[in-house]
Structure 1
Amino acid sequence: MPASEDQLKTWMVDGLNGDAAAYAALLKALVPTLRAFYRRRLGDEDAVEDLVQETLIAVHTRRMSYDRDRMFSAWMFAVARYKLVDHFRRRRQHCDLDGIDTLLAFEGFEEEANARMDVDALLVALPAKQASLIRKTRIDGQSVAEAAHEAGLGESDVKVSIHRGLKALAMRLRGGRG
């Protein structure tokens, strides 16, 4: 089973902070994902293995350009896409432009990345307390009691903050002021 986005990001950030074991775990976890990514696009198994290695090297050499506030998978698949384009250029291969979006898709992470960026953009407009509580309960799956305990608040305060925040978001999405 592939590692989750959260696990990959944790390994990457820990690796950037000097944890060699976490970084090694990240690179090891990327191999099957990258193989699958390239196999769906290429028929040449040797080219697949070459591209996996090139991508791992690129991830390593460009690791300092990774923004810790962004999704790791989106960044990694962007590196992989560039390596795939470079591969096509080297071989002077052409592909049908009608299928280019499918060819360069982020393997399901694109939708998740866009959704997460949309949610982040909406939540940033709310007061920090409301945004944090909505994220904890509606996105991260904590109960109201867990979020209240973690934030040092009463459960009713958490419920009211969430309600007000969601109401403001709904108004904003309808085009009103929130």
Structure 2
Amino acid sequence: MNGDAEKELATLLRAAIAGDEGAYAAFLGRTAAIVRGFARRKIVQGGVDPEDIVQETLLAIHMKRHTWISDAPVLPWIYAIARFKLIDAFRKRGRRVEIEIGDIAETIAQPEAETVSDREIGRALDGLAPGQRSVVAAISVEGRSIGETAEKFGMTETAVRVALHRGLRSIARKFGRS
């Protein structure tokens, strides 16, 4: 902004402080445009509305206009208030940035399924007693329920649970995870 605009704003603010309502309205209109441009340039990630910064800044200027020194430049004073209001808005928002999930869905990595080879499964089941091996394989490998496994092997559900627990505990010991 050039020196003429600085002088014009200072003249308008002096007249406004002296009671000229028309000058005050003109000052606020020009100041709003300046602060709006400033806020839009500074807000790059979103999460803060530039119009909120404009309104907060104009309100602060209205409340503190008596603190402006009439022979001092007005633009640095306006920018300082706007900068502090912008900082306050970012603090209120916190470190989070809100993004629509649909905008980035393609870039989110899908969790990799942990795969275990047939050889590793066979190795884990090898050290089990035949009854435990069948129960662990039916439930953990084939995905059968306790009830289905009990029916398949002619066992009670309690016996299936005991065999499963003992088999898994044995596998955990074998691979050092007690």
TM-score normalised according to structure 2 size: 0.49
Higher alpha-carbon Rg: 2
